[in-house]
Chains A and B, each alone.
Chain A
Amino acid sequence: AQKVTQAQTEISVVEKEDVTLDCVYETRDTTYYLFWYKQPPSGELVFLIRRNSFDEQNEISGRYSWNFQKSTSSFNFTITASQVVDSAVYFCALSDGELSFGAGTTVTVRA
């Protein structure tokens, strides 16, 4: 069974628009970690955030923010005032003994 679902395959926006990426996960463990990674065209996986299952506080880092809702098993990611440099594939991942990635969402920001 798929552990991490990113229902949006591709999102295209114009610069300065906000973008929200959805992530829904599935696990039977009570202790787990959630991650978001960015993969630009160059290929490297860039770590954005790690959140443990006991910390439901939302987090903001610059133009990035994350909304963790344990009740709905979701860990959504918002880019505010998007920029062309935000164009990349974004992966949500779950670690409950093994790191499992979602299928990824390709974000294209047009100037």
Chain B
Amino acid sequence: DTEVTQTPKHLVMGMTNKKSLKCEQHMGHRAMYWYKQKAKKPPELMFVYSYEKLSINESVPSRFSPECPNSSLLNLHLHALQPEDSALYLCASSQGPDIHYGYTFGSGTRLTVV
């Protein structure tokens, strides 16, 4: 298995809803990442988990809450989002946090906040 699987592929949620995005990989990678990508913009790093510990939080609002239950799973819990949070959310993984390793990206979750 050489993939990063993200679910759901599409999500529409209201500003008062609570939802979660899920990311899964079975490549034995020990670093996992959340990126946010607005239309016609490059991906922006949100969070980095290294060996199941949060190592980087790029000053992301608290309405986004990451969770790494185990080395294969990464969740992003969403609560009280704003319409401007609508974007493509990409998950990625790498063998480790060291720069020598390549990154594998999932196909993303397209989130629309109404």
Question: A residues within 8 Å of B by Cβ?
Answer: 31-33, 35, 37, 42-45, 47, 50, 52, 91, 95-99, 101-104, 106
Contacts and interface: CB of A to CB of B under 8 A. Distances in A.
Interface residues of B, number: 20
Nearest to A43: B108
Interface in B39-80: 40-43, 45, 56
B113 to A, nearest CB: 17
- What is the predominant secondary structure among interface residues of chain B facing chain A? loop
Contacts of B90: 45
Interface string B79-105: 000000000101010000001101111
B110 interface: yes
Contacts of A96: 99
A72 to B, nearest CB: 22
A101 B43 contact: yes
B107 A42 contact: yes
